A and B are shown apart, each in its own frame.
Chain A
Amino acid sequence: MLEFISQPWPWYVSGMVIALIMALLLFFGKSFGFSSNLRVICAACGAGKKVDFFDFDWRAQTWNLLFLVGAIIGGFIASEFLSTGEVVQISKATIQDLNQMGISAPEALQPMEIFSLESLFTVKGFLILLSGGFMIGFGSRYAGGCTSGHAISGLSNLQLPSLIAVIGFFIGGLITTFVLLPLIF
């Protein structure tokens, strides 16, 4: 059993687990949306005193912060106990494209050119992560949700705004992939 779950999971298992998480959260009277946590964190740090947007009862969202803590613990368990150290099996075409930008084929879960501590302390690496994070935080709140809130919960509810947001996700993602990344690397 342990051996079975230690292998990388196929897409349909992961998709089912995500839907199950959404169903469980609905059953417990919550909704599935992760990026709200970022707003909760701002509020919990006292941002509500200065900016109205963060002036709300963030304690009612404590469950979502626990979900966040669970995500960190889940990542820890997966990497420490349930990993076979297998390399991410991305397609040959992607490996080739990335090679042309100077990013080597996967040796771990993440490319060391971006996520190693050495790259973190270069100007390029620092700016990639900081600005990338900034756009994620700014964009998800502007759009009123991220992948979990719009792409999963929203599309499941056939909401038009979520479809527009997901189209936006892809416009942005394609610009980064085909314009920004080749410029950066």
Chain B
Amino acid sequence: MSKSEAISWFRIQEMFRFQSFHMYGIIGTAVALGLLITYIIKKYNLRDYQGNPIVFTPKEKSVSRYLLGGTIFGLGWALTGACPGPLFVNLGHGFWAFLLAITGAIVGTFTYGVVKDRLPH
């Protein structure tokens, strides 16, 4: 992530402005290979290192929670230029300001846990 600058606020801005292929290339390559890996695992019923079958638990069907939750997530993603993983990678880089964003993310997760039953899912 770090080495391809995917943790940079600049790269995320460039992506949301559709001004470069870079981020789409990263996600596209990962998904294309991911599709292949997932397909092969399912087709040949591959097992993990302990011999248990690898199962993909499908997400429950809904539209509202994914669309609303996704939109809220996207607002934050573009604002901080980082999704959850890169928040921590940036910390490793010595950008201490991300500690505040991480605090916000933990508080946000906690708040969701508190109000979740009152939200449309």
Chain A: residues with CB nearer than 8 A to chain B?
A: 5, 8-16, 18-20, 22-23, 26-29, 34-35, 37-39, 41-42, 47, 51-54, 68, 71-79, 82, 88, 90-91, 93-94, 97-98, 106, 109-111, 114-117, 119-120, 125-126, 128-148, 150-162, 164-177, 180-181
Contact = CB atoms under 8 A, between A and B. Distances in A.
A86 B10 CA distance: 14
Contact of A136 (B1, B63, B94, B108): B108
A95 to B, nearest CB: 9
Contacts of B19: 90-91, 93-94, 97
Place the interface of chain B in its size category.
35 or more
A38 B9 contact: no
Given A109-B93, A133-B87, A170 B98 contact: no
Given A155-B34, A172-B72, A144 B66 contact: yes
Chain B interface helix/strand/loop/mixed: helix
A99 B35 CA distance: 39
Interface of A is mostly: helix
Interface of B: 1-17, 19-23, 25-35, 37-38, 41, 48-50, 52, 54, 56, 58-63, 65-85, 87-98, 100-114, 116, 119
B27 A15 contact: yes
Contacts of B105: 38, 133-134, 136-137
A109 B8 contact: yes
B65 A76 contact: no
B77 A172 contact: yes
Nearest to A133: B104
Contact of B17 (A18, A73, A134, A177): A177
A135 B108 contact: yes
B31 A128 contact: no
Contacts of B73: 135-136, 138-140, 142-143, 146, 165, 168-169, 172
A93 B19 CA distance: 7
